[in-house]
Homo-oligomer: A and B are copies of this chain.
Amino acid sequence: MELWFSEFHAPDVKHSIRVNRHLYSHKSPYQQIDIYETPEFGKVLSLDGNVMLTERDEFIYDEMITHVPMAVHPGIKNVLVIGAGDGGVVHELARYRTIENIDLVEMDEQVVEACRMYLPENASRLDDERVHIYFDNALRFIRRRTDEYDLIIVDSTDPFGPSESYFTKEFYGICYNALHEDGILVNQQGSPFYQHDAEAMQRSHQRIVSTFPISRVYQAHIPTYAAGYWLFGFASKKYHPLDDLDAEKWQALNLKTNYYTTRLHKGAFYLPAFLERLLEEVE
* Nearest neighbor of A256 in chain B, beta-carbon distance: B273
Q: Which residue of B lies closest to A226 (CB)?
A: B223
CA distance A221 to B17 in the complex (A): 20
Asked if A13 is an interface residue, CB under 8 A from chain B, the answer is yes
Contact B40 A221 (CB under 8 A): no
A267 within 8 A of B: yes
Residues of the B chain whose Cβ atoms lie less than 8 Å from the Cβ of A60: 272
A261 touches B257 (CB 8 A): no
List which A233-283 residues lie within 8 A (CB) of chain B: 257-261, 263-264, 266-274, 276
Which residues in chain A, 213-228, are within 8 Å of chain B measured between CB atoms? 219, 221, 223, 227-228
A180 cross-chain contacts in B, Cβ below 8 A: none
Q: Which residue of B lies closest to A59 (CB)?
A: B274
- A14: CB under 8 A from chain B? yes
- Determine if A229 is an interface residue (Cβ-Cβ < 8 Å): yes
From A10, which residue of chain B is reached at the shortest CB distance? Answer: B40
* Residue A4 at the chain B interface, CB threshold 8 Å: yes
Interface readout for A23-48 with B: 1 if CB under 8 Å, 0 if not?
00000000000000011110000000
- Considering the complex, give the chain B residue whose CB is closest to the CB of A40: B12
Contact assessment for B10 and A4 in the assembled complex, using a CB-CB cutoff below 8 Å? no
Mask, A1-19, CB within 8 Å of B = 1, is 0001010001111111110
1/0 contact trace for A192-209 toward B, CB 8 Å? 011000000000000000
Q: Specify which chain B residues have a CB less than 8 angstroms from the CB of A261 in the assembled complex.
A: 270, 272-273, 276
CA A15 to CA B260, docked complex, whole Å: 27
Docked pose: A227 CA to B229 CA in angstroms = 9
Report the bound CA distance from A4 to B13 in whole Å.
9
Residues from chain B with a CB closer than 8 A to the CB of A13 are 15-18, 40-41
- What would 20 more interface pairs be, CB under 8 Å, given A11-B18, A193-B221? A4-B14, A6-B16, A13-B15, A13-B18, A14-B14, A14-B16, A14-B17, A16-B16, A57-B193, A221-B272, A257-B273, A258-B273, A258-B274, A261-B276, A263-B270, A264-B270, A264-B273, A267-B268, A267-B269, A267-B270
Ranked 8 nearest A-B pairs via Cβ: A228-B228, A267-B267, A267-B270, A12-B18, A223-B227, A14-B16, A12-B40, A221-B229
